[in-house]
Amino acid sequence: MLEAIILKLITSLTGYLFSATMDSFKSIEIEGAPSWYGKNLDHDNLYAYGYARGDMESVESARENCKTAMVYRLNDLNEIIIYDNFRNIKEPKEQALINAYKNDTQLKVFVNKAMQFEKIEHFEMEEKGLFTKARPAQTFAGGMIPKTAIIAYQKERLEKIKTSLSTFRFTQGMDELDSEMEGK
């Protein structure tokens, strides 16, 4: 049964990633932001964007905000998949698999490793002029992760979860046999 749940998780993930669900907007225009900010450039990648105010030191903050946005997007995707497909699961082994899938302790590491920054743009502070508005010093960052990399990561994760659950069940069964043998 765990294999069926794993297959459903992967097919649901793939379906959501390659449907328009994750790209809920074609583009967004934010006054003062670069023209590329908030735009999904293609459907093969999952995009996230970050912003930070400040001088050149804000570049790293914008990159970190972009990574954080990606972690939130991926966590939201997992929540949607679980809600849509597995909210009525009652069997303890299946529930353990779903909970382990939902609580991804390595997601931030995956994002740090896989995220590619396509655009980072820093604007220096501008004073208000006759025809221009004042603008603070700020940095915009745009990054992406290929959707195929996300699917491969989740497949590997689910295999590890399945193995650890199987090992736990095996160990638990052996302990029960040992206690029965000692009781005789």
Q: Domains of the chain: which residue ranges?
A: 2-169
> How would you label 56-79 residue by residue, b for 16+ Cβ within 10 Å and e otherwise?
eebbebbbebbbebbbebbeebbe
- pLDDT at 26 (0 to 100): 58
3-state DSSP call for residue 128? Answer: coil
- pLDDT at 72 (0 to 100): 93
In whole angstroms, what is the distance from residue 13 CA to residue 181 CA? 45
- pLDDT at 87 (0 to 100): 81
- pLDDT at 32 (0 to 100): 79
The pLDDT tens digits along the chain (184 residues) read 667 777 788 888 788 777 755 555 555 667 778 888 888 778 889 999 999 999 989 999 999 999 999 999 999 888 888 888 888 888 887 788 788 888 889 999 999 999 999 899 998 887 887 777 877 889 999 999 999 999 999 888 888 777 776 665 556 666 666 677 776 5
Query: Which pTM value belongs to this model?
Result: 0.78
- pLDDT at 142 (0 to 100): 94
